[in-house]
Structure 1
Amino acid sequence: MKNVIEVQNVYLKYPSSKNDTIHGISFDVKEGEIFGFLGPSGAGKSTMQKILTGTLRDYRGSVHIFDTEMRQRTHDYYEKIGVDFEFPNFYGKFTALENLKYFASLYSGRTTDPLKLLEKVGLLHDADKKVSSYSKGMKMRLGFVRSLLHDPQLLFLDEPTSGLDPANARVLKDMILEQKKMGKTIILTTHNMQDAEELCGRVAFMADGTIKAIGSPHALRKGGTNTQVEYTFLDNTREIRKVCTLSNLAHSQDFQTVLKKGLLTSIHSKEQTLEDVFIALTGRGLQ
Structure 2
Amino acid sequence: MNASKPTPDNMAVVSVKNLSFTYPHSSQKVLNSLNLNIYRGEIFGLLGPSGCGKSTTQKILMGLLRGFSGSADVFSQPIANISRQFYQNIGVCFELPALYLRLSALENLALFASLYSGPTLNPHQVLEMVGLRDVANQRVANFSKGMKMRLNLCRALIHDPKLLFLDEPTTGQDPARARKTHKLLTHLKDQGKTIFLTTHNMAEADQICDRVGFLFNGEIPVTGTPNELKFSYGKHQVELIANSENGVVSSRFPMENLGENQKFLKAIKQSDIRSIHTLEASLEDVFIRVTNSAKQSEKPDGNGGNKS
TM-score, length basis structure 2? 0.85
Correspondent of 1:185 among 186, 194, 201: 194
Q: Is the 8 A contact 2:45 2:198 kept in 1?
A: yes
Identity %: 43
Correspondent of 1:66 among 54, 59, 75: 75
**One-letter identity of the residue aligned with 1:182:** Q
Pair 1:81–1:236, CA change in 2 (3 A) = closer
**One-letter identity of the residue aligned with 1:160:** P
**Could you say what secondary structure the match of 2:249 adopts?**
strand
Pair 1:235–1:198, CA change in 2 (3 A) = closer
Match of 1:159 in 2: 168
Match of 2:282 in 1: 273
Pair 1:218–1:240, CA change in 2 (3 A) = closer
Distance 1:119 1:236 in 2: 56
Pair 1:155–1:233, CA change in 2 (3 A) = closer
**Cα shift at 1:193:** 1.9
Pair 1:105–1:254, CA change in 2 (3 A) = same
Correspondent of 2:45 among 31, 36, 40: 36
Alpha-carbon RMSD across the aligned residues, in angstroms, is: 2.1
Q: Is the 8 A contact 2:236 2:280 kept in 1?
A: yes
**One-letter identity of the residue aligned with 2:108:** N
**Cα shift at 1:208:** 2.4
Moved over 6 A (4+): none
Pair 1:18–1:263, CA change in 2 (3 A) = same
**One-letter identity of the residue aligned with 1:2:** M
Q: Is the 8 A contact 1:37 1:45 kept in 2?
A: yes
Correspondent of 2:158 among 124, 149, 162: 149
**Could you say what secondary structure the match of 1:141 adopts?**
helix
Distance 2:244 2:135 in 1: 62
Match of 2:303 in 1: none
Match of 1:137 in 2: 146
Q: Is the 8 A contact 1:13 1:59 kept in 2?
A: yes
Distance 2:245 2:147 in 1: 57
Q: Is the 8 A contact 1:57 1:70 kept in 2?
A: no
Distance 2:109 2:226 in 1: 35
Distance 2:104 2:244 in 1: 68
Pair 1:124–1:257, CA change in 2 (3 A) = closer
Correspondent of 2:29 among 7, 20, 42: 20
Distance 2:254 2:223 in 1: 26
**One-letter identity of the residue aligned with 1:156:** F
Correspondent of 1:79 among 85, 88, 94: 88
Pair 1:235–1:79, CA change in 2 (3 A) = closer
Q: Is the 8 A contact 1:231 1:264 kept in 2?
A: no
| Mapped pair 1:220 → 2:229 | yes
Aligned length: 283
Correspondent of 2:127 among 83, 96, 118: 118
